[in-house]
Amino acid sequence: MHVGTSQVLSNKLKEEIWSHKDEVDTIIGYILEGDGHHGSYKRLARITDGFGHRVSGSEALEDSIDFVMAEMEAEGFTNVHGEDFQMPNWQRGEDSCELIEPRRVKMPLLASGSSISTPLGGITAEVVVVRSFDELADLDRSETEGKIVVYNQPYEGYGTSTAYRGHGATKASEKGAVAALVRSITQFSVNSPHTGQQYYQEGVEDIPTGCITVEDAEMLWRMQESGQSMVIHLDMTSLTDGMMTTRNLVGDLEGTSFPDEYVVVGGHLDSWDVGTGAMDDGGGCAISWEAMVIIKKLGLTPKRTLRTVLWSAEEQGLLGGVAYYEQNQDLVPNVSIMMESDSGTFRPLGIGFSGSDEARAIMREILDMTSALNATQLGSEGSSPDTGDWVRAGVPGGNLINQNDDYFIFHHSEGDRMTVQDADEMDLCTALWTSVAYVVADLDELLPREDNSRK
């Protein structure tokens, strides 16, 4: 047992946790060596091979939601339903980007989510390349006005570099630019463009924006450095056409003692419209859904309700997560833990956790109990894109720490395919995810919070 946190817990509680050791071993054995072998991988393949990408607003997303709901019904889960919400109806058009001078080069382009289109016939403009917002700020307005600003920012981690996609258009527009092209946010490229959401700012003129490849951004930078002037023709028809409706998906395995208390596991079923969203976030959906299936198949009967939520419209700015919270926040006192996996399902390393010291000590015990999986890290942050509101409201949060060094090579690109996923690694993720969810759902008490409040 873990020194340093174990004294927080009473012996009685520790005994209660460890009384689940047999069930946990059963879960792990079922997945690694039993009928559950490669179950989450196969489940994910049915979604990705069957429906392809599932961008919000697409028929494929709605079809895949219907598919999962029908499966969940057939699997005997209860309360299976969708929860509608509204979102902007942004549609990717036919977008193209061509270097005209000094040499004609067709450059792969992915418009950034929410980008406006170019005027009919496109934009032909000179190019100025910068490597940072600071470099842009240092330019005289005459050097940017009427031009296409290209950001060739180095990759300094997703959290940092993503600001260029998110706000590059606004910053360029403030300097009078007519469009902004952003180097794809990745550490490794095979000339692969990566997309993602961008955010206009009120009071600043909207200009079209999208991502080009690392290779092209670097080429434009070299051309500028060698004194060549560049002209790009940009033609984009992507646009936002009013609002539309999509759904979060909910399905329950009802608790035997506290049916109105919840352990929520999930991921977001929507993806970007490139690749098939196997990694982002099909994997998180698959291990969550599979967790519920396994617990039911093994005849385990957790005391409180195990709920799978598959959020939608995460990619457009966590819209599904926000909607689910708004529509269900009366459950804040009733949710023992909100677990979302949305940073890959590579080899699991542990669980990120947000919650009280006592709750953390409980998680520590559970991870010690599942140490056969070699995934015993207990991270200090358990929030996840779609669970942030819940965690901020005091609900304990859990996420999956995994060996996801390659995550951003595939993220939001055509490379987000089943090939990224490893069935054995997914088994380990599923075993960890299922064990943690099951034990927390079966404890006598909700995970304790800072203020010891209980509904």
Active-site residues: which are they? 314
306, 293 Cβ separation under 8 angstroms: no
* Site residue total, a copy of itself (CB under 8 A): 30
Q: Is 446 in the site for a copy of itself (CB under 8 A)?
A: no
- Checking DSSP bridges between strand 148-151 and strand 96-101, what pairing results, if any? unpaired
Closest CB to a copy of itself among 36 and 52?
A: 52
- Cα separation of 52 and 62, whole Å? 12
Q: 49: which 2 tokens?
A: 């091979």
Mapped onto helix, strand or coil, the DSSP state of residue 64 is helix
Closest CB to a copy of itself among 184 and 248?
A: 184
Stretch that binds a copy of itself, among 49-57, 66-74, 140-148, 428-436 (CB under 8 A): 49-57
Residues of span 198-227 touching a copy of itself by CB under 8 A:
214-215, 218-219, 222-223, 226
* 8-state DSSP, 298: T
Q: Is 348 in the site for a copy of itself (CB under 8 A)?
A: no
Cα four-point dihedral sign 280, 282, 285, 291: negative
Q: Is 190 in the site for a copy of itself (CB under 8 A)?
A: yes
Instruction: Count CB neighbours of 235 within 10 A.
Output: 20
Displacement of CA 126 from its chain's centroid (Å): 36
Closest CB to a copy of itself among 51 and 258?
A: 51
- Give the one residue of 19, 142, 160, 191 binding a copy of itself; rule: CB under 8 A: 191
Residues of span 386-425 touching a copy of itself by CB under 8 A:
409-410, 413-415, 417-419
> Residue written as tokens 């990224």?
420
Closest CA to 414 of 76, 119, 48: 48
The CA–CA distances, whole Å, from 101 to 152, 179, 182, 201 equal: 18, 17, 19, 31
Q: Is 49 in the site for a copy of itself (CB under 8 A)?
A: yes
Q: How far is the CB of 215 from a copy of itself (least distance, A)?
A: 4
Q: How far is the CB of 342 from a copy of itself (least distance, A)?
A: 20
358, 9 Cβ separation under 8 angstroms: yes
Closest CB to a copy of itself among 53 and 171?
A: 53
Closest CB to a copy of itself among 275 and 398?
A: 275
Q: Is 344 in the site for a copy of itself (CB under 8 A)?
A: no
The CA–CA distances, whole Å, from 80 to 68, 281, 297, 310 equal: 10, 20, 18, 11
Binding mask 87-106 for a copy of itself (x = CB under 8 A): ---------------xx-x-
Binding site for a copy of itself (CB under 8 A): 45-46, 49-52, 102-103, 105, 108, 189-192, 214-215, 218-219, 222-223, 226, 275, 409-410, 413-415, 417-419
